[in-house]
Chains A and B, each alone.
Chain A
Amino acid sequence: MAYLTDKFWRTFKPFLILKNLFRKPMTLQFPYESLPPVEGYRGRHVLDLDKCTGCFICCMICPNKAIGLVDFRGRKYPQVDLGKCCFCQLCEEYCSVKAIKLSKEAMMVTMDKESAILGPEALSKTPTQ
């Protein structure tokens, strides 16, 4: 009996795969649809120009030296090289006035290296997500 049951399962179990026809696909058709980032996702930086004091701490703590200070409106503000950034969120954690934050914006692809460097003005724009 056990032999017959085994034979039965061996013969018919492969057909169980047909149930996948009625399931939702595991993949998404990117770029038409994409997985929404979760709350607290570490994406592009957002800089609050009013809060930032130009204290240099984000530049000091960045492990990849992706943040540098530049002149903007007569003051020093950070600029971020997204090509170097590893999105570790240490800049946000160490900022004493909470001026720099990581947003949920995940689409940061550019065609050249220069446009991956975001100055204070670009950083202060509201993220798309």
Chain B
Amino acid sequence: MEEREIAFLTIPFGPQHPASGHFHALLKVDGETVLGLEPHPGYLHRGFEKLMEYRVHPQNCVLVDRADVLDPFSCELGYANAIEKIAGLEIPQRGRYIRTIMAELGRILSHITWIGVLSMVLGFDSANKIAWGDREKILRLNEIATGGRLYPCYLCIGGVRRDISQEFVDETSKALDYLEGQLSFYDYFVFKNETFVMRMEKVGRMSAEEAIDLGATGPNLRACGIDYDVRKDEPYEAYPEVEFNVITREEGDAYARSLCRRDEIAESISIVRQLLKNLPDGSYRVELGPECITLEGESYFCLESARGEKCFHVVSDGSPCPYRVKIRAPSFLHTLTEFPYLAKGSTIADIPAIYWSLDSCPADMDR
């Protein structure tokens, strides 16, 4: 028995591992088999929830971008909507459409970045470079619409801060055509690549019941066969006015999660096209009255971010700053509950593949 215990080895995964990001986990291994995984988050904790208690609402709208670096629009959308719920504001239709376009572009941006990182983790550097080149197309669109590339600071309470130009509409159509063509290239190059399939298929599999118990949301939940999407089930912004399918798969393994995200890019492209086609004229922002400076109330708003269900719980006690902001980040649950569960029983080489198939963003996890 003593000899057996000596055979166990504890090895760290991250925070300097190329596949980990700012995340640390301890693996207990027996030879190649992982017996258990202990996650240690917190390397990217910047205390946004506390920082937001000392800033007024317009400042928080730009600060909250940093809570999820790869999908900043979802954070802005969540915070702005939570405050608008307290204030009882009605956003103009053009503003809602622009917000939805940007949220979907953010989803495409996040998923393309994820293709790049997952490819790099699996030792497929060419796909990584190509995906990061394609990501540049969306970043350029961000720059045209908002003036910033990574941190758009675009959504504000009452609408959006700038109107979109005809140049943005034209460039978006071009970029979407390009990305749609690239998807078939990714299919050939990555998703149907034999090495990729062998590394991802039947790895990190979970059933629908397990996914619900572990708190999975977003593509990770939909890859287990559950048809749940906040955009469809509790629609917000302009989602009730567009037609789209909720992508689901039955297998529940890492490969199914990958294909779910790949299909979501195609679905997002179709959503943006529909919105650009029906973009209404008129005002894109409501003027805020003095009553919006000191708000009193409590609100809870859920939205479908690129990684899953993101929720904002804001309590405002009548002062210009919120009393408390709580962000329910999807990556937190994906990494702290699903990752240890899926890692148990797998091999060491599968750990990066499982981790990135869950699409965790350490910035989103630690906030």
Contacts and interface: CB of A to CB of B under 8 A. Distances in A.
Given A26-B133, A42-B148, A63-B55, A37 B62 contact: no
Contact of B58 (A26, A40, A61): A61
A70 interface: no
Q: Which among A40, A42, A63, A93 has the highest number of chain B CB atoms within 10 Å?
A: A63
A52 B62 CA distance: 24
* Interface size band for B: 20 to 34
Contact of A90 (B58, B147, B151): B58
A122 interface: no
Contacts of A37: 143
A56 interface: no
A26 B167 CA distance: 21
Interface stretch (A71-79, A81-89, A107-115): A81-89
B319 interface: no
A117 B167 CA distance: 35
Interface residues of A, number: 19
B153 interface: yes
The secondary-structure label for the interface of chain A is loop
Q: Which among A41, A86, A87, A88 has the highest number of chain B CB atoms within 10 Å?
A: A88
A80 to B, nearest CB: 16
B161 to A, nearest CB: 7
A61 B59 contact: yes
Contacts of B162: 40
Contacts of B188: 13
A69 B30 CA distance: 62
Interface of B: 55-56, 58-60, 62-63, 133, 136, 140, 143-144, 147-148, 151, 153, 161-162, 167, 188
